[in-house]
């Protein structure tokens, strides 16, 4: 039962993550620059533990990222070893660097290309969590180029596809 | 209580006569027809012959010495093909980091029964495959590759360095025989020794550090302090050589578990963009990297002073000054090595082109080592470190 709840929360946060990628691609120059540097058509998948929620995206010129078609193979897959581990990251208990150091996930694909994705997630987390929280999970708090409230509002209004 | 993992399945055979047991080590691994990997230089100076002699009656399936300075996917594929064609059943790798990384790549291809290394890129994602006994015999005391789960192999076609972090690449056995390092010239001894020191210091301060990797790291730092200058001055000293080989293994086992940080990230990039030899880059970058991280590593650097300078200096130094003193000790060692061997202490001396620094900085930011560096690494920070290390 507990796992099922965590799975649902993970799925929900992945949706927020996906939308914030698209919003910040348009609103934050650093996220835009990072994504622009990705190889054309780069595909990434985040899997939240065995049988857990997942998010698969592809680089998109217009919106930064778009969803990957079901069953399409991703070039980079970050796979959390457990649903619980994924929850710790997605609920902001631990940052991506901390999760890597704690062996919470495995990575299939090019480590060099993944580093840019990790930097993007750091920027996203700085917007999504309040500063006192972000400071606990990020090594340094990046400056915000836009108000977090605006980001939240745009996430709510963001097109799902 | 922080969660951590530590793995070091490699059996260590170290010291006088270590090579003599090679045939036995292969036998207990169940191998009867090993493939021997090395390079042309080691063949020329007779190190390869030492290994062939040590193998005695063991039937060698194939000897391959055409391994370039930087491992490449083409070389790995070619060797794997020959491994299969010649019916080999084990790998014995004699050489520096390049030969050992090549052997790790070959092992992956054979064990996973594939011919495409690209499919296996990543971190902790490769399952255990077919058993391929693998013995590593390092000929430098620096990379620690014989004790790490890391392999880096170049793919010139795709212009990428393929990185593998997996327990599956670790050798079954590492043989450290001082006979193989006594012929190393002083300058290479100094450069590779500083690589070892850098592995140990970064391992002790990175985010993935843990109590077990710490024990390995400090043991390595102590051995470097006690033996590096001796190995440089008296290259024929088997004791100093054996101690440095042990230090390299210990530091490798430490950073193989705790990973390395900003110094290695920039060093890898300098190697790729400006062709600065890895050990030289570590020697140049280490103090600047430590100064950069000091903001968040004051305590750990302070602890390292005990191993870098000994108990007298440690106790005589007030706690608040220990971190700075530890950095000064590294600079002092570097100065001595410079005087003894001419090992460059600036990027200018090493021949780096400052016009390429922006490219170096971008490459460094995409290096996996950045993620576990204790302090956030930014483009501006890397550029500042490079400028400081250029030495104007």
Where are chain A's structural domains? 2-139
Residues from chain B that touch A77, judged by Cβ atoms under 8 A, are 125
Considering the domain delimited by B11-179, tell me its CATH architecture.
3-Layer(aba) Sandwich (3.40)
Query: What is the percentage of chain B residues whose pLDDT exceeds 90?
Result: 90
User: Predicted confidence band at A63 (pLDDT cuts at 50, 70, 90)?
Assistant: very high
For the segment B368-378, the average pLDDT, to the nearest whole number, is 96
* CATH fold for the domain made of B184-390: Dehydroquinate synthase-like, alpha domain (1.20.1090)
Residues from chain A that touch B207, judged by Cβ atoms under 8 A, are 97-98, 100-101
Can you give the pLDDT at residue B2?
87
Angle of the B278-309 helix axis to the B322-341 helix axis, nearest 10 = 130
pLDDT digits (tens, 9 = 90+) for A6-24: 999 999 999 999 999 999 9
pLDDT digits (tens, 9 = 90+) for B188-212: 999 999 999 999 999 999 999 999 9
Residues B308/B212, Cβ–Cβ less than 8 Å? no
Residues A28/A71, Cβ–Cβ less than 8 Å? no
Residues from chain B that touch A140, judged by Cβ atoms under 8 A, are 375-376
Helix (H) or strand (E) holding B204: helix B186-205
Examine the pLDDT at B71 and tell me if it is beyond 90: no
- Pairwise CA distance, residues A49 & A58, whole Å: 21
For the segment B267-274, the average pLDDT, to the nearest whole number, is 92
Phi, psi of A60 (to 5 degrees): -135, 125
The Cβ of residue B109 has, within 10 Å, a number of other Cβ atoms equal to: 23
User: Predicted confidence band at B69 (pLDDT cuts at 50, 70, 90)?
Assistant: confident
Mutate one of B162, B260, B364, B371 to test the A interface: name it (highest A CB count within 10 A): B371
Can you give the pLDDT at residue A1?
66
A148/chain B closest Cα distance in angstroms: 22
Domain ranges of chain B: 11-179, 184-390
pLDDT digits (tens, 9 = 90+) for B216-242: 999 999 999 999 999 999 999 999 999
For the segment A61-74, the average pLDDT, to the nearest whole number, is 89
Examine the pLDDT at B61 and tell me if it is beyond 70: yes
Examine the pLDDT at B160 and tell me if it is beyond 80: no
Q: Which has more pLDDT, B201 or A161? A: B201
Can you give the pLDDT at residue B378?
96
pLDDT digits (tens, 9 = 90+) for B320-330: 999 999 999 99
The chain B residues in contact with chain A (CB within 8 A) are 2-5, 121-125, 160-163, 165, 206-208, 259, 296, 365-368, 370-372, 374-376
For the segment B236-262, the average pLDDT, to the nearest whole number, is 97
Can you give the pLDDT at residue B392?
65
**Which of B122-126, B142-146, B294-298 has the weakest average pLDDT?**
B122-126
**Which of A118-122, B39-43, B115-119 has the weakest average pLDDT?**
B115-119
Residues from chain A that touch B161, judged by Cβ atoms under 8 A, are 112
Cβ–Cβ gap A115/B5 under 8 Å: no
Examine the pLDDT at B80 and tell me if it is beyond 90: yes
In total, the C-beta contacts within 8 angstroms joining chain A to chain B are: 69
Examine the pLDDT at B214 and tell me if it is beyond 70: yes
Of B165, B208, B375, the CB nearest to A139: B375
Residues B206/B258, Cβ–Cβ less than 8 Å? yes
Cβ–Cβ gap B374/A139 under 8 Å: yes
Can you give the pLDDT at residue B157?
78
The interface predicted TM-score of the complex, written ipTM, equals 0.93
Can you give the pLDDT at residue B179?
93
A111/chain B closest Cα distance in angstroms: 6
Mean pLDDT, chain B, integer: 95
Residues from chain A that touch B366, judged by Cβ atoms under 8 A, are 112-113, 115-116
Of B207, B208, B368, the CB nearest to A111: B368
- Pairwise CA distance, residues A127 & A146, whole Å: 9
Cβ–Cβ gap A101/B207 under 8 Å: yes
**Which of A54-63, B155-164, B345-354 has the weakest average pLDDT?**
B155-164
User: Predicted confidence band at B15 (pLDDT cuts at 50, 70, 90)?
Assistant: very high
Query: What is the percentage of chain A residues whose pLDDT exceeds 90?
Result: 89
Say yes or no: A82 contacts chain B, CB-CB below 8 A.
no
Mutate one of B1, B123, B272, B295 to test the A interface: name it (highest A CB count within 10 A): B123
B110/chain A closest Cα distance in angstroms: 19
For the segment B93-104, the average pLDDT, to the nearest whole number, is 96
Closest CA to B362 of A127, A144, A119: A119
Angle of the A148-157 helix axis to the A111-128 helix axis, nearest 10 = 110
Can you give the pLDDT at residue B162?
83
Q: How far is C-alpha A113 from the chain's CA centre? A: 14
Residues from chain B that touch A107, judged by Cβ atoms under 8 A, are 122-125
Examine the pLDDT at A161 and tell me if it is beyond 70: no
Cβ–Cβ gap A115/B124 under 8 Å: no
Residues from chain A that touch B368, judged by Cβ atoms under 8 A, are 111-112, 115
- Pairwise CA distance, residues A125 & A130, whole Å: 9
A158/chain B closest Cα distance in angstroms: 30
Can you give the pLDDT at residue A160?
61
Residues from chain B that touch A106, judged by Cβ atoms under 8 A, are 122-125
Pick the CATH number of A2-139 from 3.30.1050.10, 3.40.50.300, 3.40.50.920, 3.40.50.2300: 3.30.1050.10
Pairing of strands B150-155, B160-165: antiparallel
Mutate one of B1, B376, B379, B381 to test the A interface: name it (highest A CB count within 10 A): B376
How far, in Å, are A48, A75, B117 from residue A10 at the CA level? 7, 22, 32
Can you give the pLDDT at residue B154?
85
């Amino acid at each position: 039962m507990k796992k099922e709840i965590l799975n649902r929360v993970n799925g929900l946060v992945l949706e927020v993550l996906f939308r914030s990628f698209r919003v910040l691609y348009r609103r934050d120059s650093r996220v835009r620059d990072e994504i622009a540097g990705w190889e054309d058509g780069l595909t990434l998948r985040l899997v939240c533990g065995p049988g857990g929620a997942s998010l698969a995206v592809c680089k998109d010129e217009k919106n930064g990222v778009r969803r990957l078609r079901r069953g399409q193979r991703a070039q980079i897959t970050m796979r959390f070893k457990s649903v619980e581990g994924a929850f710790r990251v997605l609920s902001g208990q631990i940052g991506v660097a901390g999760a890597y150091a704690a062996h919470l996930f495995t990575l299939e694909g090019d480590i060099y290309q993944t580093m840019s994705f990790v930097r993007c997630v750091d920027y996203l987390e700085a917007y999504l969590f309040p500063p006192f929280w972000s400071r606990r999970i990020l090594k340094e708090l990046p400056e915000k180029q836009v108000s977090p409230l605006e980001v939240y509002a745009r996430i709510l209004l963001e097109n799902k596809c | 209580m922080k969660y951590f993992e530590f793995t070091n399945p490699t059996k260590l055979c170290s010291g006088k006569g270590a090579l003599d047991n090679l045939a036995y080590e292969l036998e207990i691994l169940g191998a009867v027809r090993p493939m021997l990997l090395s390079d042309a230089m080691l063949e020329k100076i007779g190190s390869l012959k030492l290994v062939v002699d040590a193998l005695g009656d063991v039937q060698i399936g194939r000897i391959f010495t055409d391994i370039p300075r930087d491992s490449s996917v083409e070389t790995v594929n070619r060797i794997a093909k020959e491994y299969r064609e010649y019916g080999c059943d084990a790998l014995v790798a004699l050489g520096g980091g390049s030969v050992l990384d090549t052997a790790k790549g070959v092992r992956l291809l054979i064990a996973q029964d594939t011919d495409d290394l690209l499919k296996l890129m990543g971190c902790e994602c490769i399952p255990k495959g077919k058993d391929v006994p693998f013995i590593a015999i390092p000929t430098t005391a620096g990379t620690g590759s014989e004790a790490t789960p890391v392999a880096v192999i170049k793919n010139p076609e795709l212009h990428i360095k393929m990185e593998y972090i997996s327990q599956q690449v670790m050798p079954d056995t590492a043989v450290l025989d001082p006979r193989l390092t006594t012929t190393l010239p002083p300058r290479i001894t100094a450069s590779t020794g500083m690589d070892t020191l850098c592995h140990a210091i970064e391992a002790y301060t990175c985010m993935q550090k843990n109590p077990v990797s710490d024990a390995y790291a400090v043991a390595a730092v102590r051995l470097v302090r006690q033996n590096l200058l001796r190995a440089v001055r008296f290259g024929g000293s088997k004791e100093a050589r054996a101690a440095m080989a042990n230090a390299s293994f210990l530091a490798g086992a430490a950073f193989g578990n705790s990973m390395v940080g900003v110094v290695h990230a920039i060093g890898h990039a300098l190697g790729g963009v400006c062709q600065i030899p890895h050990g030289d880059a570590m020697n140049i970058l280490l103090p600047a990297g430590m100064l950069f991280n000091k903001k968040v590593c004051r305590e750990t650097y302070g602890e390292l002073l005990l191993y870098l300078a000994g108990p007298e200096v440690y106790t005589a130094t007030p706690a608040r000054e220990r971190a700075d003193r530890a950095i000064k000790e590294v600079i002092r060692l570097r100065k001595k090595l410079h005087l003894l061997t001419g090992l460059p202490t600036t990027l200018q001396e090493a021949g780096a082109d400052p016009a390429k620094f922006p490219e170096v900085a971008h490459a460094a930011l995409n290096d996996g080592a950045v993620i576990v560096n204790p302090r956030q690494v930014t483009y501006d920070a890397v550029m500042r470190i490079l400028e400081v290390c250029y030495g104007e």
